[in-house]
Structure 1
Amino acid sequence: MAKNDPSTLSSVKNALQILKSFSMFKPTVKVSELAQSLGLAKSTVSRIMKTLASEGFVMKDPETNGYRLGLSVLTLGGLVTNNLEINKEAIPVLNDVVAKTKETAHLAILDGLDTIYIFKEECHHPVRILTHIGRKNPAYCTSSGKVMLAFHDGNLLEEVIQNGLQPFAKNTITNPDELRAAINKVKAQGYAVSTEELTEGTRSIAAPIRDYTGKVVSAINIVGPLQRLPDYKIPSMARILVDAAKEASERLGYDARFFR
């Protein structure tokens, strides 16, 4: 929607922007912080927070006078994830991936120019990579994102490039031509690898999941420290993920025979 679209309600938009300001890394926010970051008057933010609190979407912390998300958000989030068909069909596949790779596995979908984790199956290693359901990452520097960019029907890759390629770690691809080449490689091999592109010392590998129409709707990935995912393990891990993605796709009704 356009910024000044007369059909939108500014108060509702402001409330949604406030809710989107919370994150795993910033679970508590204050009215003054929100007002400054969103460019709103403190009185406006205060009224919205009181309204959200009355409906259980935020709760006030009496010790800090900050706000954190309330249980109403959890209820709605549970409804979303429980009714996603991809979750229902792919969870058993994720369990199998973790059993075979010994690494944490995720399901990811696109959300604009980012990827978002919609399900996670934790590994049993004492040393784990910090991830969580609902986490957003730039698509261009994650394996799941690169998989979905590679097989996207539209011009999403160019949108990502036009939006800017910011560096996050030492191997983040910030050159548009290099990113295009990397995405073409993903198309050719059928899976993606991200090595220290988002976070130092980590590697992720992902494969695409298709629905019954043949469209790539999700990605399945594993994430782990480089010590446990060295170069020589990439082919075998990728094969596990490609096979798992194929099984998840078939559970969603995909039949490769119709798309040859």
Structure 2
Amino acid sequence: MSQIRKKKIADSVIFVALSAGAVFMIAPLLWMLSTSVKQKSDVFALPPVWIPNEFDFSKYAEIWTAGPLLSGIQNSLIISLSVTIVGSFTSSLAAFAFAKLRLKNKNALFLLLLSAMMIPYPSLMIPQFSMFAGAGWIDTLLPLIIPPIFGNIVMVFFLRQYLINVPNAVIEAAKIDGTSFFGIFTKIIFPLIKPAIAAQFILWFMAVWNDYLAPIIYLNSPDKLTIQLVIANFNATYAIQTDYPLIMAASIIALLPMLIVFLIFQKQIIESIAISGVKG
């Protein structure tokens, strides 16, 4: 068997395997979308009905009065955008400092920051709750916004490794021209790492948007709940009534911001992967 034929067979097997994996990954999303436009009686029909005979979009109108969905979306957007936008800026500054500035004991400090990742979050929940309760931040969005805006160590690590490949001669030349460190960052470093920041931005946005544990610790009032807590309340309230179309409609609405962010940044994410592959 020729090498070309072997390669075609291998490519066909890989394509079939990836296609099967894609089907398994997208099937739950399609089922959720299908369920959101079904009648309640069709949800448990056997055999399963993927495409209902009659599309019912009434649940998409009902969800806005069934619970504080709009305020949940607003709260999640406030948290996610403020954390990821400000946090990405501070994280990129920290990465620039650790990668390119001449700081005393910067490697030891960086290792200390990395070691903080080994501390499990449950061991910090009670001390953090006590600290934020003493500050009067309970049942506000501040505990979910203030700490992360100072940076994300995972993003700092990723950007630092990315910046190590940037030649020091570029920075030295800018310093000779009289450019300040902040000017070097804004005019040289930031444009270079924009693809990497975009890749980390979307991952961080998704993590903050989907966060359930931290909001349930600090938030109590219905008007302060994030979208994930609202969806959990929908599930607890309407699953008993087997109103799964309502729950799925609310879940689809909660999913839309993440899809929008991905569509906006997909070019930068692909570019980041391509650049990382070339440098690796």
Range into which the TM-score falls when normalised by the shorter chain: under 0.3
Structure with larger Rg: 2
RCO higher in 1 or 2 (8 Å CA, sep ≥ 6)?
2
| TM-score (ref. length: structure 2) | 0.23
Larger fraction in helix: 2
